[in-house]
Amino acid sequence: MINQSYTERLFFSLLLLLLSVSIVSCENNESFEKKPKVEIKYLEGRAVLYREGVPFRIKGAAGTEHLDKLAAYGGNSIRTWSLHNAEEILDEAHKNGLTVTLGLEVGIPYWGEDFNYWNLWAVDRKIDELRPSIEKYKDHPALLMWGVGNEVSLKGGPRYLVYYILNRIAKMVKEVDPDHPTMTAINMQTFGRTRYLMPHIDVLGYNGFSEIVPFYASNKNYGNKGWGKAYILSEWGPPGHWEVQDTEWGAPLEMSNSLKTAYQNQYWELISQDSLALIGTYAFYWGNKFEITPTWFSLFSEEGYESESVQFLRWTWTGQEPGNFAPRIEQLLLDGQVPSLNTYLTADSSYSAEAIVEDRENDPITFRWEIREEESKFYEVNPYQYNMIQLLPEDFEAEIEFKTPKNEGAYRLYVYAFDGNGNFASSNLPFYVINR
């Protein structure tokens, strides 16, 4: 007869063994079935972005300002170009329920200026410099994906060599952080075997403005040289300063806010038709930045007032119209006339300017006028840049008298219209002063 205590011990030993096997089996299954926090899935040939197991369509803006408004207006993501203030940006985005495509700057502004791309040892050092930042931010709850460089092939070096380096960076990123996709942004005109040269890039970002029309007309993402996989519009908006008509002295003509919105609407109709591989968009630029002018791409004034374009984006994200519409500057007149393409004015002379403004609610409009020297750099404000207030009247109205500068050269006349409800419109006129 078997001793009962021995039987009990044997029973419990077998039970513990079964439990341990079960636990190990569950742990192995969990490890086997563990999914990335963010991933791209291809369902019947259609690309879908998943975040925490739930489909996630990017409704985003490129920029880091006014995140509370972005969230309130239906946006869900922002895009950056570098790791500058990364922790602060990630925390602020998370506080507002937003995600972040976090940029990894590949050089300042481009690699290749301080060393040769063919120096693979120098490239290795550059890649290793990024590794600690990937480790630091990979578990942040706001992180959506990594943006590996931005239009690097424009100035960084031979295109295919740049793609090779970008792919190496993406490979390192994925080794350190397998939970988030990698993305690189290229110009819409830049193509050529990207799919085969960058296998470690999960998402291709297209920076597109007026090129959006031929891009979709030619179905470029899916052609023989196209990416063919998941993509985003990493920057999009109305035509850029390189895509419009210039004056004889090289000053690009900035269009009105209402015309910018009309272009946005045209582009959005094309963008929204692609449900096959497009996983989202980032409008450019959510905030205020200088590029040729302070208003070319800025969706907000420097004070934080909203343009008509902000209200358009809100409509695309939510279908809701604003409670109060932004004003429109329909025309900027010079001496009562529509100015010519090439406006030459006499130095140290008086002229009149008038902004023709419409406001849907007939709000009382206030104005600000400025005269500034035309910038010689596209992306930087020169240290000597200032508003020549001595040439303007003390009180601003819809129509003003102003004097031209004494020195010959290129200038711009700016006008801003504010409706008192947090909205604004702007317009400007480039002119050239001559001495007679």
Q: What is the CATH number of the domain that holds 365?
A: 2.60.40.10
Do 334 and 303 share a structural domain? no
Q: What is the pLDDT of residues 154-203, one digit of tens each?
A: 555 567 778 888 899 999 999 999 999 999 998 887 665 677 889 999 99
Alpha-carbon distance of 37 to 219, in angstroms, equals 31
pLDDT value for 20: 45
Q: What is the pLDDT of residues 385-399, one digit of tens each?
A: 789 999 999 999 999
Sheet arrangement for strand 409-418: 344-346, 424-434, 409-418, 366-373
Alpha-carbon distance of 412 to 334, in angstroms, equals 13
31 in any annotated domain = no
pLDDT over 90 for what percent of the chain?
A: 72
Domain C-terminal end among 318, 338, 362: 318
Residue 12 or residue 74, greater confidence: 74
Confidence of residue 126 (pLDDT cuts 50, 70, 90): confident
Do 311 and 345 share a structural domain? no
Do 413 and 293 share a structural domain? no
Alpha-carbon distance of 421 to 363, in angstroms, equals 8
5 in any annotated domain = no
pLDDT value for 170: 95
10 in any annotated domain = no
Total domains in the chain come to 2
**Helical H segments across 249-303, by residue range:** 257-271
102 in any annotated domain = yes
**Helical H segments across 138-207, by residue range:** 159-176, 194-197
393 in any annotated domain = yes
Q: What is the pLDDT of residues 308-363, one digit of tens each?
A: 999 999 999 999 999 999 999 999 999 999 999 999 999 999 999 999 999 999 99
Handedness of CA 429, 433, 434, 436 (dihedral sign): positive
Lowest mean pLDDT among 23-27, 55-59, 230-234, 282-286: 23-27
Alpha-carbon distance of 109 to 405, in angstroms, equals 35
4 in any annotated domain = no
Do 236 and 189 share a structural domain? yes
pLDDT over 70 for what percent of the chain?
A: 86
User: Does pLDDT of 8 surpass 90?
Assistant: no
Do 334 and 314 share a structural domain? no
Residue 173 backbone dihedrals phi, psi, to 5 degrees: -60, -45
* Whether the Cβ atoms of residue 166 and residue 106 lie closer than 8 Å to each other: yes
Strand-pair partners of 369: 415
Read off the pLDDT of each residue in 236-253 and give the average, rounded to a whole number: 96
| Residue 108, domain extent | 38-318
Confidence of residue 32 (pLDDT cuts 50, 70, 90): very low
Lowest mean pLDDT among 27-31, 33-37, 67-71, 91-95: 27-31
Nearest to 96 by CA among 123, 74, 81, 124: 74
Do 387 and 294 share a structural domain? no
Do 284 and 371 share a structural domain? no
Q: Which amino acid is at 360?
A: R
* Whether the Cβ atoms of residue 266 and residue 238 lie closer than 8 Å to each other: no
Lowest mean pLDDT among 27-36, 46-55, 64-73, 302-311: 27-36
**Paired sense of beta strands 278-284 and 399-403, if any:** unpaired
Domain C-terminal end among 272, 287, 318: 318
The gap from C-alpha 130 to its chain's centroid, in whole angstroms, comes to 22
Read off the pLDDT of each residue in 400-407 and give the average, rounded to a whole number: 97
Q: Name the E strands within 221-288.
A: 231-236, 278-284
Alpha-carbon distance of 348 to 335, in angstroms, equals 16
Domain C-terminal end among 266, 291, 318: 318
pTM: 0.88
Do 367 and 292 share a structural domain? no
* Whether the Cβ atoms of residue 104 and residue 205 lie closer than 8 Å to each other: no
pLDDT value for 196: 82
Q: Provide the CATH number for the domain around residue 232.
A: 3.20.20.80
Read off the pLDDT of each residue in 36-64 and give the average, rounded to a whole number: 96
127 in any annotated domain = yes
Read off the pLDDT of each residue in 204-230 and give the average, rounded to a whole number: 90
Output the six-digit token pair for 212. 């959006």
Do 283 and 341 share a structural domain? no
Residue 296 or residue 111, greater confidence: 296
Q: Is 298 helix (H, G, I), strand (E, B) or coil?
A: coil
pLDDT value for 414: 98
What element of type H or E holds 79?
Answer: strand 77-79
Do 283 and 153 share a structural domain? yes
The gap from C-alpha 373 to its chain's centroid, in whole angstroms, comes to 27
pLDDT value for 343: 98
Do 344 and 298 share a structural domain? no
Give me the chain's average pLDDT, please.
88
368 in any annotated domain = yes
State the DSSP code for 22.
H
Do 333 and 309 share a structural domain? no
Alpha-carbon distance of 377 to 214, in angstroms, equals 29
